[in-house]
Amino acid sequence: MTAIPHHYNLGNLLAVTLSRHSARPALRYAESDHSFGDLGTWAASLATLLLSKGLRRGNVIAIGHDKRPLSYALMLASLRLGIAYVNFDVCSPIARTKRILEVSAPSLLFYDDAAYREEMTELAEAQGCELILLETISLPETSDEDLKCQQECCRLVDGSTIAYIMFTSGSTGIPKGVAVTHENLLHFIDWGRECFGVTEEDNFSNLSPMYFDNSVFDFYVGLFNGASLSPVHRSLLTNPYDLVSYVSARSCTIWFSVPSALMYLMAVKAIGPGALENLRAIVFGGEGYPKVELKKLYDRFENQARLVNVYGPTECTCICSAHTLSAVDFEDMEGLPTLGRLNKNFDFVIMDDAGDEVAEGELCLIGPNVAAGYFNDLERTSAAFHTLTDPTRFMKRMYRTGDLVRAVDGQLHFVGRKDNQIKHMGYRIELEEIENALVRLAQVDQAAVVYLRKQAAFGKLIAYVACKNNVEDGQLLKELGQLVPDYMVPHRLHILPELPKNANGKVDRQSLHALSEQ
């Protein structure tokens, strides 16, 4: 019997994967494919570069990742050495990215598209770190001695070492950096392979941007199981017909996106007969998929592909439950599909505000898939992450999700949120982050943002501000766009003399909701 190797860090698993699949395609673009061997060579050169800059286990790098091959290789190089990476959006407002870099404190800043040199230079100067453009012509040679050094560095990386830091919206206006470990991801990779039967023949449609949590599924469950990725550039996401044509031409077998993307493609009839004919699994998560819309997708792919509704916060390594849809799910067409049962190697409790276990309340996730915490933020970490002392779960790690769920016959059903956090276009947004950005504008005295879902499929952000001086709503939205990403800019902005208050003197959000629905 052949012994199954134990991989205690991602670098060990990566070495086996690169060796086993060296000649097979890893990244598939319209112009050309790049093999696992290519990735391995680039990763070794980039690891040599990182070591030459004095970086070691525990350091952090930032990557302006626009889905070019060397950015993927750099992620692998950092994992090999135990260096945490932060992927960020090169198109995000400079002000917000600066906050991300302040929290993560990278030693080096990389980017893969020379078109963004000016913005990246500003970020690097603000952070006080070196800026490096990823180009194959500037990669260093890797000697045998370099490889030995890398192997020794890899040997020292334990499972609790931080692999990456993924930023999400923060209620204080400062994004939160979720620190995910090698151990978290090793469990995730094994689960993904088993759940979806991933083999080297699979090709993942890498639709999600690499700074977005959903991309973790593509990169880790795909590449680390020997499957290939077909990176989809942001420019394709705005043209549904070109997008579907591109994914079809790459013969992708696994699709993972937010529901709103699928609903849009179905609404404009971009997924016609014969399109996406190689897909065997369509996975969606990051926001609710109303059954009245989901049924249209189910009817289209019922005889071809498995449809899987997944759920999971960034703080628990991307996905913690996966429910495969069947005809039974549409016997009742109200609301959202069930979240299903939690994945293997997860435990949970549902708690009320008093901390007692209940059938309906806040979902608290437990186990080795729970992330280390919020990077460089002990206060917010201690508020959301807890070490249990109950004898039945002694010293286990627990994350309070803020999601309200109901348990029915062992399956979880989403009920709502405890706070002002929403899911919009798949992104997790704290409404307070938008409000904090609005009040940073000189003309705004007070701000409140509500989320209005008038239709089952799509929601809209509506902002209300109180201003002393005359100002145009369009101008405020334009200025706001310099502080927050596009997906956080409200659909509408209303200017009022003052915001309505309740009896406690707080902003009356119910009144604002009612006003939005008029």
pLDDT digits (tens, 9 = 90+) for 26-61: 999 999 999 999 999 999 999 999 999 999 999 999
* pLDDT at residue 4 is higher than 60: no
Residue 303 and residue 435 in one domain: no
Three-state DSSP class for residue 194: helix
Q: How far is CA 349 from CA 398, 426, 463, in A?
A: 9, 25, 35
Closest residue by Cα to residue 150 from 46, 41, 48 = 48
pLDDT band at 401 (very low <50, low <70, confident <90, very high): very high
- Domain membership of residue 385 (yes or no) is no
Do 444 and 325 share a domain, yes or no?
no
CATH code, 305? 3.40.50.12780
Q: Report which secondary-structure segment, H or E, holds 42.
A: helix 36-52
Range among 333-342, 361-370, 479-488 with highest mean pLDDT value:
361-370
Q: Considering the chain, what is the average pLDDT of its residues?
A: 91
Among 21-30, 182-191, 405-414, 464-473, the minimum mean pLDDT is found in 464-473
Give 269's DSSP letter: T
Sheet containing 84-88, strands listed edge to edge, beginning at the edge strand earlier in sequence: 130-133, 108-111, 60-64, 84-88, 162-168, 176-181, 373-374
Q: Supply 242's token pair.
A: 């070109």
Q: How far is it, in rounded angstroms, from Cα 300 to Cα 296?
A: 6
Same domain, 321 and 459: no
- Is 49 in the same domain as 197? yes
Structural domains in the chain (count)? 2
Residues 295 and 444 in one domain: no
How far from 36 is each of 83, 146, 432, 493, CA to CA, in Å?
Answer: 21, 20, 43, 49
Does the structure show a pLDDT above 60 at 457?
no
135-148: buried (b, 16+ CB within 10 Å) or exposed (e) per residue?
Answer: eeeebeebeeebee
**pLDDT tens, residue by residue, 284-318:** 998 888 888 899 999 999 999 999 999 999 999 99
* CA distance linking residue 142 with residue 41, whole number of Å: 9
- If asked whether residues 444 and 315 sit together in one domain, one would say no
Q: What is the distance between the alpha carbons of residues 134 and 85, in angstroms, rounded to a whole number?
A: 15
Domain boundary among the residues 284, 299, 330 is at 330
Asked if residue 175 is part of any domain, the answer here is: yes
Is 352 among the domain residues? no
Domain assignment present for 346: no
Any domain includes 407: no
Structure tokens at 156: 């020292």
Residues 436-451 have a mean pLDDT of 85
- pLDDT of residue 515 exceeding 90, the answer is no
Full residue range of the structural domain in which residue 436 is found: 424-516
Please give the pLDDT value at position 434: 86
Q: Is residue 342 part of a domain?
A: no
Give the whole-angstrom CA distance, residue 141 versus residue 134. Answer: 15
| 303 exposure class (CB count in 10 Å sphere: 0-12, 13-18, 19+) | exposed
Tell me the pLDDT band of 1, cut-offs 50, 70 and 90: very low
The DSSP bridge partners found for residue 427 are 424
User: How far is residue 101's CA from residue 85's CA, in Å, rounded to a whole number?
Assistant: 11
Place of tokens 């950096």: 177
Place 3 in a pLDDT band, splitting at 50, 70 and 90.
Answer: very low
Neighbours of 90 (CB within 10 A): 20
The token duo for 81 is 């050495």
Contact assessment for residue 455 and residue 293, using Cβ atoms and an 8 Å cutoff: no
1 domain residue, yes or no: no
Domain-ending residue, one of 274, 302, 330:
330
Q: Which DSSP category does 420 fall into?
A: S
pLDDT (0 to 100) of residue 503: 56
Q: What is the rounded CA–CA span in Å between residue 483 and residue 426?
A: 20
**308 and 430 housed in the same domain:** no
Same domain assignment for residues 325 and 431: no
- The span from the CA of 122 to the CA of 130, in Å, is 11
34 within 8 A of 69, measured Cβ to Cβ: yes
The SS3 call for residue 332 is coil
pLDDT tens digits for range 174-189 = 889 999 999 999 999 9
Does residue 261 share a domain with residue 157? yes
Instruction: Please indicate, yes or no, if residue 483 is contained in any of the structural domains.
Output: yes
CA torsion through residues 444, 447, 451, 452, sign: negative
* Among 179-183, 275-279, 426-430, the least confident range: 426-430
Of 310, 330, 350, the residue that ends a domain is 330
* Weakest mean pLDDT among 96-105, 426-435, 491-500: 426-435
Tell me the whole-structure pTM to 2 decimals: 0.89
- Indicate which CATH number applies to the domain containing 459: 3.30.300.30
Do residues 475 and 489 touch, judged by C-beta distance below 8 A?
no
